[in-house]
Amino acid sequence: MFLKNTWYVAAKSEDIADKPLGRRICDEPMVFYRDGSGKVAALEDFCPHRGAPLSLGFVKDGKLVCGYHGLEMGCDGKTVAMPGQRVRGFPAIRSYPVAERYGFVWVWPGDAEKAHEDSIPQLEFFDNPAWSYGGGLYHVKANYQLMIDNLMDLTHETYVHANSIGQPEIDEVPCKTTAEGDRVVTSRFMHNIKAPPFWKMAMRANGLPDDADVDRWQICRFSPPSHVMIDVGVALAGRGGFDAPDQDKVYSVVVDFITPETETSMWYFWGMARKFKPQDAALTDSIREGQGKIFSEDLDMLERQQKNLSAHPTRELLKLNIDAGGVQSRRVIERLLAQEAGVGA
C-alpha cells in the first residue's frame, strides 16, 4: 500500500530532456516528457489507441507521439492528432500533477485537485551557496519501507559499512527516538571517539587533523510519504559537537528520497549535502563516489532481505529498541493510509 495524495521524486530534471521517460511510481506506469515550453508533463503510460507504452514513442513539437501508430497526445491526456485519422473524440488518459524543484521532478499520484506545490518539502541546503550537493539513483528490488527501516536504524553501519562509516561506538551508544505528529526523529551522539575512514577523509578535506578525537552525531529525520534526512558529521572533541563552529567540524545531511515502484521495488534517490568546502567540485565527486559505494552495500542487503521476506510472508520478525525509528515511521504511514482510505473519518 502506498500513500497517493503526496509528492514523490520521480526523476532528476536532467533525465527528462528530448525523449520521454517511462517510470512506474506507486505501481502506476507513468511517462514523463517536456512540452514545447520545456515544462515537464506526466501522463499514464498507455496509448488509448492500442495500449502501447507511450514511453516508447518520441516528442515532436511539444507533443508526445506514440511509437506504434503515431498518435499525438497533449499534456492534459487528450488526443491531439493521428496521421489520416480522426481521434479528438478519444477519451482522455490520466495526467498527473508534476513540479520541478531542487533539480528533481516531483509527481503527485493521487487526487489532482489536492496537489499543491507548497507541500513539497522546504529544504535549506538546495539552491544555497553555503552548501554543495551530489547524489545518484539506485533501483532497488525491495519494499520501500525496508529502506526507511534501514535509514532510521544506523546500528547496521558497524557491520554493513565496516570499512567506511561503521565503528563499534555506534553499537555501544544508545539512540533516542521521538515522534511528533507525522515526523519521527532518531538520534545518537558519540563523544571522544576516533573518526571512521569516511569522516577522516572529510576532516582532511576541511583542514582538520584526522587523528584527533571527535564528537560524532547521527540525527535521522523521517517525514511522509518516505523521505529521510540524516544530519551527520564529526567535530573536534569538546568544541560543541553538532553545535560546534563550522571551522571545527565537518557537517552534512544525507538526503534520501525513497519512491515506491511496486510492493517489492523502489526508486532510491540518494545524496549528500555538505556545509564545508561547497565550491570544491572534486570533493563533491569524491564524496558522491564514496557514498555511492556505501549505499550499494545497503542495496545488496535489502534485496536479499526482501527475497527472504517474500519466501516467508507469515513469519514474525523481532523488534528491538534499535528498531523504534522504523516502527514509528511505519505507524505514521499506516495512520495516513487509513486517513486516505477514509477509515475512521
Burial of 314 (0-12, 13-18, 19+ CB in 10 A): exposed
Residues 66, 73 contacting (CB under 8 angstroms): yes
Lowest mean pLDDT among 32-36, 80-84, 289-293: 80-84
Residue 259 has pLDDT above 90, yes or no: yes
Residue 344 has pLDDT above 80, yes or no: no
Residues 142, 306 contacting (CB under 8 angstroms): yes
Neighbours of 14 (CB within 10 A): 9
Q: Which amino acid is at 277?
A: K
Query: Considering the chain, what percentage of its residues have pLDDT values greater than 70?
Result: 99
The residue written with cell numbers 571545527 in the block is 248
Q: Give me the pLDDT at residue 345, please.
A: 45
Residue 226 has pLDDT above 60, yes or no: yes
Pick the last residue of a domain from 94, 119, 144. 119
Residue 56 has pLDDT above 60, yes or no: yes
Same domain (yes/no): 21, 148: no
- Count CA atoms within 13 Å of residue 160 on its CB side: 17
Output DSSP code: residue 122: P
Residue 126 within any structural domain of the chain:
no
Residue 130 C-alpha from the chain's centroid: 22
Residue 1 within any structural domain of the chain:
no
Same domain (yes/no): 175, 262: yes
Residue 87 has pLDDT above 80, yes or no: no
Beta bridge partner(s), residue 314: none
Same domain (yes/no): 32, 112: yes
Same domain (yes/no): 106, 13: yes
Same domain (yes/no): 159, 103: no
Q: Give me the pLDDT at residue 4, please.
A: 97
Average pLDDT (50-55) is 94
Residues 208, 236 contacting (CB under 8 angstroms): yes
Average pLDDT (24-45) is 96
Residue 318 within any structural domain of the chain:
yes
Count of all residues that appear for the chain in the document: 345
The residue written with cell numbers 489520416 in the block is 84
Same domain (yes/no): 154, 286: yes
Range of the domain at 217: 132-340
Neighbours of 112 (CB within 10 A): 12
Pick the last residue of a domain from 119, 140, 169. 119
Q: Strands 98-101, 95-96: parallel, antiparallel or unpaired by DSSP?
A: unpaired
* Beta sheet of 98-101, edge-to-edge order: 8-12, 104-107, 98-101
Q: Give me the pLDDT at residue 16, please.
A: 96
Same domain (yes/no): 106, 213: no
Q: Strands 95-96, 21-25: parallel, antiparallel or unpaired by DSSP?
A: unpaired
Same domain (yes/no): 277, 168: yes
Residue 89 has pLDDT above 90, yes or no: no
Beta bridge partner(s), residue 24: 29
Residue 179 within any structural domain of the chain:
yes
Q: Which three cell numbers stand for residue 100?
A: 520541478
Count of structural domains within the chain:
2
Same domain (yes/no): 324, 194: yes
> Between the CA of residue 60 and those of 79, 86, 89, 96, 139, what are the distances in Å?
14, 19, 21, 20, 29
CATH code for the domain in which residue 44 is found = 2.102.10.10
Tens of pLDDT, residues 310-342: 999 999 888 888 889 999 999 999 999 999 988
Tens of pLDDT, residues 126-154: 999 999 999 999 999 999 999 999 999 88
Spatial CB neighbours of 241, under 8 Å, sequence gap ≥ 6: 189, 191, 215, 217, 235
Q: Which amino acid is at 143?
A: N
Average pLDDT (59-70) is 91
Pick the last residue of a domain from 65, 84, 119. 119
Average pLDDT (272-289) is 93
First CA to last CA across the chain, in angstroms? 19
